[in-house]
């Protein structure tokens, strides 16, 4: 028995959960940015940057999902054993859950940063730093998932 089902499930979890977190985060930030832009369209560039930041989690999840599909025989590579399939599934949970939660949190931080920057352009860099701090946790989740995914083909499980 091979582990292709669990590997594909893992790729789906990594992509869907982190994408959901990013969509929620970017959506909330975009709503706030639209309110600011309705009052002052000259702030479009700054609002765009602050709105896009919660979108990185979805990208990280997509990368992990894509690498799983490449490694497990769907887009190349060898068919995984059952143990490898479970390892891919486990790897996907880090970025899936970590990306979803940090996407939500980064979206909330972006909403506050946008509101703060709307009042005074001098606050833009402070907003950027605060929003980027949440990114650290998405990156940690991504790195763990990535390290496991690139190690799985060499595991004899």
Over residues 63-74, the mean pLDDT reads 93
Per-chain mean pLDDT for the chain: 94
Report helix, strand or coil for 155.
coil
Q: C-alpha distances in angstroms, 48 versus 8, 51, 129, 142?
A: 34, 5, 15, 24
Query: Which CATH number fits the domain that encloses residue 144?
Result: 1.20.120.610
> How far apart (Å, rounded) are the C-alpha atoms in residues 78 and 65?
16
Report the pLDDT averaged over residues 18-22.
Answer: 97
How much is the pLDDT for 75? 83
Structural domain count of the chain: 1
What is the pLDDT, as a whole number, of residue 32?
Answer: 96
Rounded Cα distance between 80 and 73, Å, is: 7
Range of the domain at 109: 4-154
Q: What confidence tens digit (pLDDT) does each residue in 112-149 have?
A: 999 999 988 899 999 999 999 999 999 999 999 999 99
pLDDT > 90 fraction of the chain, expressed in percent and rounded: 88
pLDDT digits (tens, 9 = 90+) for 89-116: 999 999 999 999 999 999 999 999 999 9
């Amino acid at each position: 028995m091979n582990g292709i089902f669990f590997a594909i499930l893992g790729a789906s979890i990594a992509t869907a959960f982190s994408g959901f977190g990013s969509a929620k985060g970017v959506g909330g930030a975009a709503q706030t940015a639209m309110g600011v832009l309705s009052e002052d369209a000259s702030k479009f560039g700054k609002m765009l940057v602050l709105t896009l930041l919660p979108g990185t989690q979805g990208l990280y999840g997509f990368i992990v999902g894509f690498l799983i599909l490449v490694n497990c025989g769907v887009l190349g590579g060898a068919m995984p054993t059952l143990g490898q399939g479970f390892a891919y599934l486990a790897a996907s949970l880090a970025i899936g859950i970590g990306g979803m939660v940090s996407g939500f949190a980064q979206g909330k931080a972006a909403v506050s940063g946008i509101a703060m920057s709307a009042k005074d352009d001098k606050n833009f860099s402070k907003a950027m730093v605060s929003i980027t701090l949440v990114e650290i946790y998405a990156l940690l989740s991504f790195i763990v998932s990535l390290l496991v995914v690139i190690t799985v083909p060499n595991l004899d499980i």
